[in-house]
Amino acid sequence: MSEDVRPEPGLSPERLAFFTDAIFAIAMTLLAVELERPDKEELESAGSLGRFLVDQRTSYLAFALAFVLLWSVWRRHHQLLDRIRVLSKTFVFWHAPFLLLVAFLPFPTAVIGSAITNPMAQTLFAGTMAGIVFCEVALKEVSADSGLVIGDVAEARRHANASWAVGLWFVLSLGLAWVFSYAYVLWFLAPLAAAYGGPLISRLRSRRADPHDGSARRTGR
């Protein structure tokens, strides 16, 4: 990169990408570190080890779920950064709460692994995931509004709307956890929320941006 196009100090996309990748890698590794290990007695026979593994089944479920969710968030963030050549201070700022919540996620994952039907445990996990996704939304909105994205800005907004749908889906599960102990099942359906909720939010936002368009269709103009 030549000197005349060098980014402002502290706004290098490469350094931000490397740091973000490191935080995600550490968080995803800590998910496994939090898993309980069998003690000496539980390793003495196949039966005792089998019972231990069965007893820990919710921990393995929580680990797999959190790993897949973090992987999907990282992939979307990776795709976003690949379309950005210049950063803004606001864009960098939103990485602080974003990565803070990513680094925190192993804790609520361990909690729901021990008490997955506990409404407070579900609230802690769903709230953390909602926070991560809403920070992701902020990054996508800032990148589109500030002209940081190279290429189709409308596509970037569609991706932001899909993330809005996922974040709201986790908020919905957070509320349902207090009346339905298996509300965590909704977390596995987050891709459907993005696939169907994202286009719905896009239509609602387009109507709000151009209210005359809907009235024109109703009057046949």
Of 3-17, 46-60, 132-146, 194-208, give the lowest mean pLDDT range. 3-17
Q: What is the DSSP string of the chain?
A: --GGGPPPTT--HHHHHHHHHHHHHHHHHHHHHTSPPP-TGGGSSHHHHHHHHHHTHHHHHHHHHHHHHHHHHHHHHHHHHTTBSS--HHHHHTHHHHHHHHHHTHHHHHHHHH-TT-HHHHHHHHHHHHHHHHHHHHHHHHHHHTT-B-S-HHHHHHHHHHHHHHHHHHHHHHHHTTT-TTGGGGGGGHHHIIIIIHHHHHHHHHHHH-HHHHHHHHTT-
CA distance 6 to 181: 53
The whole-number average pLDDT for the span 208-212 is: 66
Per-residue b/e over 53-69, b at no fewer than 16 CB within 10 Å? eeebeebeebbebbbeb
pLDDT > 70 fraction of the chain, expressed in percent and rounded: 90
The whole-number average pLDDT for the span 59-86 is: 93
Query: 152 Cβ partners below 8 Å, 6+ apart?
Result: none
pLDDT score at 1 = 44
Match 């509004």 to its residue by tokens: 145
Spatial contact of 122 and 184, defined as CB atoms under 8 Å apart? yes
pLDDT grade, residue 8 (50/70/90)? confident
Residue 9 above 80 pLDDT? no
HSE (side-chain half, CA atoms, 13 Å) at 183: 23
The whole-number average pLDDT for the span 84-112 is: 95
The reported pTM is 0.88
pLDDT grade, residue 212 (50/70/90)? low
pLDDT grade, residue 213 (50/70/90)? low
pLDDT by residue (tens digit) across 143-196? 988 888 887 788 888 999 999 999 999 999 999 999 999 999 999 999 999 999
Domain borders along the chain are 10-218
For the record, the structure tokens of 199 come out as 């286009």
For the record, the structure tokens of 15 come out as 């350094």
pLDDT by residue (tens digit) across 66-75? 999 999 999 9
Q: Give how far Cα 157 sits from Cα of 74, 187, 212, Å.
A: 18, 23, 21
pLDDT score at 10 = 67
pLDDT score at 216 = 47
Spatial contact of 11 and 85, defined as CB atoms under 8 Å apart? no
pLDDT by residue (tens digit) across 108-137? 999 999 999 999 999 999 999 999 999 999
Which class for 157: exposed (0-12), middle (13-18), buried (19 or more C-beta within 10 A)?
buried
